[in-house]
């Protein structure tokens, strides 16, 4: 079986398991399948997935990394500090392994700071930094350290911060895609069934001197 369209990809990703008991402290909000599919489709068009070694940072259940494998990635490192999320990630990988010829997956439970392999492309939807201040900065710094191409999603209101940290690390923003990210009520203090948050996906590439 092969992926013939972005719609096909969204359908397959929509069948993957999400967080069973999302953590408030870790800001575990699953990336919607439609957003993930558009993200991966754009990355594929840029040549950032097929045949590449990928880091799915803050992978959660692994929707981005699994999607990258479906789009032809050679290998994906899934990294998340939650063992529960990584167990689901392994399940999701196994669920497609039999139906599709996909690359390999390596599953690492731990803080993103422990990752030290050089890879081709980073895909990350890190915590927004609402609960743990500056955690989004840590993810970007690690991404800039290990790869020349970074796709990272953040709240749109942090635009100035993203632009500044790119400049500080000699990266150029080549593309930006804007979405409404629906966060479904998962905790008792959530007042609305769904809250839409304005987010942006940035593609950043290392400047070559």
Tens of pLDDT along 188-199? Answer: 544 566 788 899
CA distance 48 to 29: 25
Sign (positive or negative) of CA dihedral 150, 203, 124, 161: positive
DSSP assignment letter at 112: G
pTM for the full model? Answer: 0.90
CATH of the domain at 19: 3.40.50.150
**What domain range includes position 10?**
6-206
27-59 pLDDT, tens digit each: 557 789 999 999 999 999 999 999 999 999 999
Tally of helices (H runs) and strands (E runs) in the chain:
6, 7
- Determine, yes or no, domain membership for 1: no
For residue 190, CA distances in Å to 21, 187, 194 come to 15, 6, 9
Whether 176 maps to a domain, the answer reads: yes
What pLDDT, on a 0 to 100 scale, did the predictor assign at position 84?
Answer: 93
Structural domains in the chain (count): 1
Task: Report if residue 77 sits inside a domain.
Answer: yes
């Amino acid at each position: 079986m092969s992926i013939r369209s972005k719609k096909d990809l969204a359908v397959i990703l929509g069948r993957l398991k999400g967080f069973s008991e999302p953590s408030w402290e870790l800001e575990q909000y699953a990336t919607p399948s439609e957003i993930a599919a558009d993200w991966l489709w754009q990355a594929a068009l840029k040549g950032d997935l097929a045949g590449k070694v990928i880091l799915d940072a803050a992978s959660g259940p692994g929707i981005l990394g699994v999607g990258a494998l479906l789009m032809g990635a050679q290998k994906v490192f899934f990294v998340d500090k939650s063992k529960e999320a990584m167990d689901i990630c392994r399940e999701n990988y196994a669920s497609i392994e039999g139906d599709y010829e996909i690359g390999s997956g390596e599953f690492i439970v731990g803080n993103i700071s422990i990752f030290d392999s050089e890879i081709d492309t980073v895909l990350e939807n890190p915590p927004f930094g609402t609960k743990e201040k500056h955690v989004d900065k840590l993810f970007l710094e690690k991404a800039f350290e290990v790869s020349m191409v970074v796709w990272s999603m953040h709240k749109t209101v942090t635009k100035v911060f993203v632009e500044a940290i790119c400049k500080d690390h000699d990266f150029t923003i080549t593309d930006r895609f804007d979405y409404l990210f629906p966060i479904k009520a998962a905790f008792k203090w959530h007042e609305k069934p769904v809250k839409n948050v304005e987010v942006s996906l940035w593609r950043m590439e290392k400047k070559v001197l």
